[in-house]
Amino acid sequence: MRKAVYPGSFDPLTLGHLDIIRRAAKNFDELIVSVVRNPSKNPLFSIEERVAIIKNATKDLPNVSVDHFEGLLTHYVESVGASIIVKGLRAITDFEYEFQMALMNRKLNEEIDTMFLMTRNKYSYLSSSMVKEVYRLGGDVSCLVTEYVLSKLSEKIIQVDNS
């Protein structure tokens, strides 16, 4: 059984992420989309909210499950019995960083490979950070995220602004 992990912060999930998920899911018996808890970041959405958003977006993909983890990615990949890490690439700058990470992960566990998927051109500029910034400044992000994410962004921004 070919099992892979697609890790990320997904804060929030974008159509670029969803495109990578759908394309990766075609190549594996099981794809685990796993939200990374990164203590150096201050996410807008909680881990639980991000997991729920991804579950909503992937409910039509029977071989995709959603999870979360903290710590070393290689330890997590081992713990779920996967052998492939899926990474989406938007630009050369992504490749340089992700290539270094793939080499480090390979050093930590030679049994784990990294598979890179190039983003579609229409998502090459897209990032979760950009979506949040444009939305906060009153821009239309409806072509960058699902309707569900858009509704959650609206709820969350109102919550944050009122606190």
**Known catalytic membership, residue 41:** yes
Give the three-state DSSP class for 49. Answer: helix
> Which backbone phi and psi does 115 adopt, to 5 degrees?
-110, 125
The catalytic residue among 9, 50, 128, 132 is 128
Catalytic one of 90, 120, 136, 156: 90
Specify the amino acid at residue 14.
T
Q: Which of 41, 59, 75, 122 is catalytic?
A: 41
Annotated active-site residue in 17, 50, 87, 132:
17
- Is residue 128 annotated as part of the catalytic site, yes or no? yes
**Tokens standing for 31?**
């794809």
Which residue bears the tokens 């490979």? Answer: 113
- The letter for the amino acid at 148 is Y
Structure tokens belonging to residue 107: 């050093």
| Residue whose entry in the numeric block shows the structure tokens 């979360």 | 68
Catalytic status, residue 90:
yes
Residues marked active site are found at 17, 41, 90, 128
